Structure 1
Amino acid sequence: MNMFEYFGYFGEESRDDRLLETERAVLAHLFDKYLPKSGRLLDSAAGNGENAFRFASLGYEVTAGDLIADRVDAMKADPRASSVREFFCAAPRSLGHFDDESFDIVISLGAMYLARTRAEREAFVRESMRVLAEGGIFAYSFMTPFAMTVGQFISAALCTDSRTRLREFRTLSTVEKTHSVDMFSGTTMEEITDLSREYGLEILTVASTYGAVYSMADDVAAMDDAEYEKFKNAQIATCEDPFAARYAMRGLVIGRKKALDDFD
């Protein structure tokens, strides 16, 4: 399944409710803490638009786009669509229809997952920084090598066919070396911070947004409401710990675009 088929078939709404709720709660905490309370906001990998619509409801001037045309059409058809200034269909690393420094905030949740090469990662960060105003905030998510390894291990461990199971475990050794599974790619903390700083991003935080909860989906689903609230609050309380971010399934970088005279 290629990425167009994947994202056309699997939307955010298809994920387990509690895992999605946990991630959204962590993201809301981080955005409330680090983002300005108003401004021109670009969501360049908007998916089904949930974050874009949330920001629009808070008074931001929102532009929302996605690589997948069906997702953009779904956002346009949403009853909340009138709250968003503009929708567009393009890759987050191809924002040529926007002028330099068009936005005060750029958010991209998912684009780095699909950047398999250094050149693709650089293009994504460079283009995002180009359309961001000086002093603006850039927030983007990434998958870790840990996520790639755990995901492949779970795939292998759950196999009931012995031949397929062995093949999946053999694939695991390749995943550990390449940090890639199918169309997805993991990025180390060092790669993320070096790339961000290279393009003039002053890092404010690198946080865990997803913990290791994907690998504990059944356990989280089995929690009673009180236990789950404690679990969710613990995820929020520890999300900015460096070790939590390094071993998370997904992380989030939030930084500020430096002024030209601030470069080292």
Structure 2
Amino acid sequence: MDPSAVQAYYAAKSHHERDRLLSAEGLLERVLTTRLLEPHLDAPGRALDLGGGTGPYSVWLAELGWDVTLADLSPELLAIAESSLPAGTVREVVQIDARDLSRWGDATFDAVLSLGPMYHLTTAPDRARAAQELARVTRPGGLVAVALMPRYVSVRRLVSLADERWQLADPAFQDRLLDDGVLENAVPERFTHVYGVEPAQVAPFFESHGFATVSLASTHGFLTGVEDGFEALRTEHPSAYSRLLDRLVATASDPGVLATAGHLLYVGRRRQVPTSPDS
């Protein structure tokens, strides 16, 4: 990852990021994320909202009684958070790189949400380091939730944007996108340094870094791409919306849904540290 390129994108799009979860697409992502996480949350303790941007999930956790630390790579997003979050929502606001969480000691947090950093880590060593740090600061048994992007979402995004799709004409660019999952966008101040996962590899990756898998789900369910219509359904036919939302939650881990998802949510628990036979 090139931190400066990622920071430049979020600096240019800071107000878009502030409002993103208020769009139809963002509202579906938010409601499914919270619905998928709530059954697994323990009694409130200390939580890290890593890559939390302007803090919408920090607010959600705080409302549930959690003691929340908000952290992000982008100073612009954190500035918006500091100026807009209700007083007392978070313990602290910290600018930090997810690959280096040395600010905090081992097992500091009872739960960690990492709903952004991992899909900007385009090299295997960076992803391994971030996963190691995530495991280190989470207490044994603590819950972690990590947002990821499937490989094909970047392809769909590029095809849909006239001023970006020209990059697909380069065979090497297209192969890197599809074979390696890496998008390095040549258009300035656009979404860039993105790593797209293959869903089948997600659980083994996190399990190799000390987590026990709880679930892997799509945060748009089977409605990726038609979020506007679903949001319209909420106001036009509330009971139909509610029933369909229940079905989205119930089927969010269907393998047929995962590969075409807009975002994936990995939920796991930090494995208990094994006891030494000599202890």
Matched to 1:26, the amino acid is L
1:141 alignment partner, SS class: strand
Q: Is the 8 A contact 1:211 1:247 kept in 2?
A: no
Residue in 2 that maps onto 1:225? 236
Deviates more, 1:194-203 or 1:243-252: 243-252
| Distance 1:14-1:83 versus aligned 2 partners, 3 A rule | closer
Do structure 1's residue 209 and structure 2's residue 219 form an aligned pair? yes
Matched to 2:236, the amino acid is D
Do structure 1's residue 108 and structure 2's residue 110 form an aligned pair? no
Residue in 1 that maps onto 2:9? 6
Aligned pair partner of 2:196 in 186, 190, 195? 186
How far, CA to CA, are the matches of 2:132 and 2:83 in structure 1? 31
Do structure 1's residue 88 and structure 2's residue 94 form an aligned pair? yes
Q: CA deviation at 1:193?
A: 1.6
Q: Spell out, residue by residue over 1:99-130, the C-alpha distance to the aligned partner (whole angstroms, 9 max, x if none).
A: 11101101100111101011111011100110
| Distance 1:173-1:69 versus aligned 2 partners, 3 A rule | same
1:47-196 alignment to 2 at 5 Å?
47-155=53-161, 159=162, 167-170=167-170, 171-181=173-183, 182=185, 183-196=193-206
Q: Is the 8 A contact 2:146 2:267 kept in 1?
A: yes
Q: CA deviation at 1:220?
A: 4.7
| Distance 1:123-1:81 versus aligned 2 partners, 3 A rule | farther
1:99 alignment partner, SS class: coil
Q: CA deviation at 1:30?
A: 1.2
Do structure 1's residue 20 and structure 2's residue 26 form an aligned pair? yes
TM-score, normalization by structure 2: 0.82
| Distance 1:82-1:249 versus aligned 2 partners, 3 A rule | same
Q: CA deviation at 1:211?
A: 3.7
How far, CA to CA, are the matches of 1:214 and 1:173 in structure 2? 24
Matched to 1:109, the amino acid is L
Deviates more, 1:176-185 or 1:98-107: 176-185
Q: Spell out, residue by residue over 1:185-210, the C-alpha distance to the aligned partner (whole angstroms, 9 max, x if none).
A: 10112332222111110001011112
Runs of 4+ in 1 over 3 A off after TM superposition: 164-174, 211-224, 227-234
| Distance 1:76-1:150 versus aligned 2 partners, 3 A rule | same
Q: Is the 8 A contact 2:159 2:165 kept in 1?
A: no
2:202 alignment partner, SS class: helix
Unaligned runs of 5+ in 2: 186-192
| Distance 1:79-1:174 versus aligned 2 partners, 3 A rule | closer
Aligned pair partner of 2:266 in 247, 253, 257? 253
Matched to 1:71, the amino acid is L
Identical-residue share of aligned pairs (%)? 24
Matched to 1:143, the amino acid is M
- Count of residue pairs brought into register by the alignment: 257
| Distance 1:218-1:260 versus aligned 2 partners, 3 A rule | closer
How far, CA to CA, are the matches of 2:68 and 2:22 in structure 1? 27
Do structure 1's residue 241 and structure 2's residue 241 form an aligned pair? no
Deviates more, 1:185-194 or 1:213-222: 213-222
How far, CA to CA, are the matches of 1:247 and 1:71 in structure 2? 29
TM-score, normalization by structure 1: 0.87
2:113 alignment partner, SS class: strand
Q: Is the 8 A contact 2:32 2:249 kept in 1?
A: yes
Q: CA deviation at 1:243?
A: 2.7
